[in-house]
Amino acid sequence: MAKARQEKEALLRADTFTNAPKVSRRTLTKEERQELVKQAEAKNKEAEKLANTAARGRFGRWWARLQSGPDKVTWGMAIVALGVVYGDIGTSPLYTAQTFLSGQGGIGNADREAVLGMLSLVFWSITLITTVKYVLIAMRIDNNGEGGIFALYSLIRRYGAWLAIPAMIGGAAFLADSVLTPAVSISSAVEGLQTLPPLEGLFNENPSLTLMITVVIIVVLFMVQSRGTESIGKVFGSMVLIWFSFLAVVGIVNLSNDWTVFAALNPVYGIQFLFSPHNAAGIALMGTVFLSTTGAEALYSDMGHVGRGNIYFTWPFIKIALVFNYFGQGAWILANNRNPEYTTMKTLNPFFQMMTPNVRYIAVILSVTAGVIASQALITGAFTMVSEATRLNWMPHLQVRYPARTRGQLYIPVVNGVLCVATLLVLALFKDSEHISAAYGLALTITMITTTVLLAVYIWHDRHRVGAIVFLLVFLAIQFMFFIASMAKFLHGGWFTMLLTIAILFVMYTWNEGTKLERAQRRHMQRQDFLPTLEKLHGDFRIPYFADNIVYLTSDNIMKRLDTDIFFSIFADHPKRARAWWAVSVETTDEPFTREYEVENFGTNFLFRVRIRLGFKVSQSIPAYLHQIMHDLSKTGELPQQKSLYPKVDADPNIGTIRYVLIHKALMPESKVSARGALSLSVKYAIRHVAGSPVKWFGLAPYNPLVEVQPLFVSTRRPPRLKRTERIDRDEPITANIPPVK
């Protein structure tokens, strides 16, 4: 008897040799409690500050209302906004005027009419596109604080199925441009090192050095994305503040000699020069002007990262600095358009030439930093766009991490890796910024056009129909000119952007079509449909247990029903009898540290629907949480005791064996589905295979989960009936009707 007891204890003490997936008794970790305490203290301080401010009169009450709404402004996040949002806009002064002079045939052809015309077009493009369209109009239209074309589509998709077309096209174009921006901005900034006299010999001896430095910077930039945009933004924010201050000061220094260039604030100068015979570039001039607005779409997409109020607070400073710098470059061009030193220069960049040599060193260093920051703006925007596309079921559900304190700041490992590889591919194909710039911007004009269409639809249904028509006509006219001008670069590199856009669009379209087909066949069973059969199987002792607990992961969050896929998985082939079946769904909440669960047992002790709600910063350790739930239900008597005599992987002797099952769908060969539908499903399943599966996300890989494939139950074509023939012995030679050999 004593020997048997010792053997039993030895078997049950398997957890001394391995670690069971246990959970703590507390619902928050020490770090999480400290973080919540800090947040509570910050809120209390903010509340006290607002209370004191509100007592100071009308302005104080206005400020208190502002700080309690969605337009809240904080100094810390304002600095983050500078670093995350404005990088792409901040690099445009580096090459806009240079491209203008190249199109005019050199500085000698840039007379007062041309300079004032260019400055007028730049100023009013920034004012109308960036300030009016995006800052004043688009940013007022958000989806729970999130911006971007997909968030906008989510608000208006109920007004028509056709709206998915411009949304998909615009989103694909934005993601394509997210690949090109890091390549062109960083490479152009690094190439500025070649203008420094001490480094000229080094770069001449090593022509590929610029490319190598660019590759290193890009790889490092993508590696630090996992730390979150808040930590990156704080570092970059200070640099952007210095950069735009530098832009303003340099511009003002050159303006001090000729303030008359501010006559270009009159839009007539721009319109006259655009259609003037002295405009050597023709309509392609608008492609140059467009470079000054390239960061506007990223500004809208990054709104969820930093908050709308912080962008409102910082944008006036950004625009003033840009205007001073552009107009300062214009004043320098007018002062030197007859200078023989510059009229014979092959490549002239007014941005660097208008500075003294000593200041130019600072400019090159800051421009390299600004190029990195410009890339950051597009990368964070791409994360937001993919996250929104996932919610719309236009892309696979990827693993998302939230490294910062707010849910708006996210990191998607798969997207980060794809962007990094694609950006390095662009560098390998085009080598330098001159060739990359030929492909740059074309896709973004498409995004701007589609965003305009969606904004107009929203304004129309918001009972401002006249305003919607005016908005649509004005901004489409401007942006179509940008598009036509950008198409001039199609054969010189724009083809790559369009090819990339089409590839991303193909992924989104096929994933959406495949999802529609799958949802069309999805069925659910009510309690009276599945319970009698499951109850009979549970008590059928002729069938051995497949496992003590069989756990199915499902995307269905409704607790009172069961997915037919789960039901047929239990009864497919040999019935999977178990002591308990579990259908588990996982929901991510908007709060950071939520840990909750609900259970529906349908009045049984063998079938459980579980909904686990986890905060967006909580690790989705499903095995550990399921063990806790099983222990909780065992203590309350809802789940019968499952003492496990033999050791098992999870080393938990108080819970029986657990088998996780994931169900994938497959199209049957005889399915009655169009060729387009079959292609969409095939592409979707291929993408899902590459993107990864919930096995990894939920930490199930160590527990040997079972992945089942079930047919997709769309209608099928009935093949013709076989005709029975008389049996022929294949082993005997057939000689009938064979003529004799002569």
Model pLDDT, residue 47 = 67
- Type of residue numbered 619: S
* Number of alpha carbons in the 13 Å side-chain half-sphere of residue 201: 1
Model pLDDT, residue 403 = 63
For residue 10, what pLDDT band results from cuts at 50, 70 and 90? very low
Q: Which tens digits make up the pLDDT trace of 192-219?
A: 777 677 776 777 777 778 888 888 888 8
> Whole-prediction pTM value?
0.77
Q: What is the per-residue DSSP string for 99-166?
A: HHHHHHTSGGG--HHHHHHHHHHHHHHIIIIIIIIIIIIGGGS-BTTB-SHHHHHHHHGGG-GGGHHH
Q: Which tens digits make up the pLDDT trace of 685-731?
A: 787 777 766 777 677 767 778 888 877 765 556 677 788 888 766 55
265 pLDDT higher than 50: yes
Q: Which residue has the higher pLDDT, 412 or 668?
A: 412
For residue 244, what pLDDT band results from cuts at 50, 70 and 90? very high
Question: Measuring CA to CA, which residue among 718, 586, 642 is closest to residue 12?
Answer: 642
179 pLDDT higher than 70: yes
Helix 413-430 / helix 357-391 crossing angle, nearest 10 deg: 130
404 pLDDT higher than 70: no
Q: Which residue has the higher pLDDT, 352 or 162?
A: 162
Q: Which residue has the higher pLDDT, 266 or 593?
A: 266
Residue 491 has what DSSP assignment? I
Q: Measured between alpha carbons, how far is 314 from 81 in angstroms, rounded to an integer?
A: 8
Model pLDDT, residue 167 = 92
Q: Which residue has the higher pLDDT, 95 or 241?
A: 241
Do residues 173 and 446 touch, judged by C-beta distance below 8 A? Answer: yes
Rounded mean pLDDT, 389-405: 73
Mark out the alpha helices in 431-576 (DSSP H runs): 433-436, 442-461, 465-487, 495-521, 527-538, 564-571
Q: Measured between alpha carbons, how far is 703 from 9 in angstroms, rounded to an integer?
A: 24
Q: What is the per-residue DSSP string for 296-337?
A: HHHHHHTHHHH-HHHHHHHHHHHHHHHHHHHHHHHHHHHHHT
Model pLDDT, residue 285 = 83
Rounded mean pLDDT, 439-447: 79
Strand partners, 708: 663
Rg, C-alpha atoms of the chain: 32
Q: Which residue has the higher pLDDT, 304 or 19?
A: 304
Count of residues making up the chain? 742
Burial environment of residue 38 by CB neighbours within 10 A (0 to 12, 13 to 18, 19 or more): exposed
233 pLDDT higher than 60: no
Do residues 142 and 132 touch, judged by C-beta distance below 8 A? Answer: no
Three-state SS for 663-684 is EEEECCCCECCCHHHHHHHHHH
Residue written as token pair 């930590």? 231
Lookup: tokens for 460: 């129309």
Lookup: tokens for 186: 């960083």
Q: Measured between alpha carbons, how far is 647 from 77 in angstroms, rounded to an integer?
A: 52
Do residues 264 and 270 touch, judged by C-beta distance below 8 A? Answer: yes
Lookup: tokens for 97: 């005027």
Rounded mean pLDDT, 108-127: 91
Strand partners, 288: none
Mean pLDDT of the chain: 80
Q: Which tens digits make up the pLDDT trace of 531-547?
A: 999 999 998 888 999 98
3 state DSSP class of 527: helix
Q: Measured between alpha carbons, how far is 346 from 563 in angstroms, rounded to an integer?
A: 70
Q: CA-based angle 189:190:193, to the nearest 5? A: 105
For residue 116, what pLDDT band results from cuts at 50, 70 and 90? very high
3 state DSSP class of 548: strand
Please, what sign has the CA dihedral across residues 260, 265, 268, 271?
A: positive
CB-CB neighbours of 105 under 10 Å:
11
- Which of 433-442, 473-482, 704-713 has maximum average pLDDT? 473-482
Model pLDDT, residue 195 = 67
Question: Measuring CA to CA, which residue among 89, 151, 207, 116 is closest to residue 408?
Answer: 151
582 pLDDT higher than 90: yes
Model pLDDT, residue 732 = 56
